[in-house]
Amino acid sequence: MIIAIDGPAAAGKGTLAKRLATHFDLAFLDTGRLYRAVGYGILQAGGDPNDPKIAVAAARALDPANVDTGDLYTEKVAEAASVVAAIGDVRKELLSFQRNFAHNPPGGKIGAVLDGRDIASVVCPDATHKLFVTASAEVRAKRRFKELQENGVESTYAAVLADIEQRDQRDRTRKVSPLKAVDAHVIDTSGKTPDAVFQEALDLIEGDRST
């Protein structure tokens, strides 16, 4: 059982993915952390995420054990992750790791939940269930701004909104694996509670399984 969840930043796909993984007892992979870890590594080394050679080398050297380390959720790291994710050779380097996780989930699990930008379209086009989670840019900016405030990161709502809109544009227009809904159920989380989103996803998945 493979559940692919795609969507733009701060749409709520990570929260949903974790709950579905727990509910169905599946392995969970936030693929965005892989790109954040690559971006973080480049920034820590004083490199330029826009340099394809540096980005590819960082992706090739990425140790999965380090994906959960470091401060991966600053705006600088998020920006670097979005930049390196647009580099085709970086995506190629990380593709095999993601596919192996999906088809050979760790911990003896019977399946996996992966969330990202191109899970249904590229990483796991054969996924059992495909969901595309989205929300308006304004709603997503409010969520991200609140998250940053709670983590003590200084920023402004206007800056966060501008960053999200810029990342959306980059993700949707990049030549390699652009963000889009592919054969997926679309869930708009704007104005919905996490519980309501979870129930909607469950209903869609159960509907798939009954057909």
pLDDT in tens, 52-65: 999 999 999 987 76
Identify the pLDDT of residue 203. 96
Identify the pLDDT of residue 116. 93
What 3-state DSSP class applies to 4? Answer: strand
Identify the pLDDT of residue 78. 86
Query: Residues in the chain with pLDDT < 70?
Result: 65, 69-70, 211
Identify the pLDDT of residue 176. 81
First to last CA, the chain: 15
Identify the pLDDT of residue 70. 66
Buried-state track 166-188, b at ≥16 Cβ within 10 A, e below 16: ebbebbeebeebebebeebbebb
For residues 17 and 94, what is the distance between their CA atoms, to the nearest angstrom? 20
For residues 116 and 179, what is the distance between their CA atoms, to the nearest angstrom? 9
pLDDT in tens, 168-190: 998 899 888 889 998 999 999 99
State which amino acid sits at residue 22: T
What 3-state DSSP class applies to 187? Answer: strand
Identify the pLDDT of residue 72. 86
| C-beta atoms surrounding 205 within 10 Å | 20
Identify the pLDDT of residue 211. 67
Question: What's 2-194's CATH class?
Answer: alpha beta
Domain ranges of the chain: 2-194
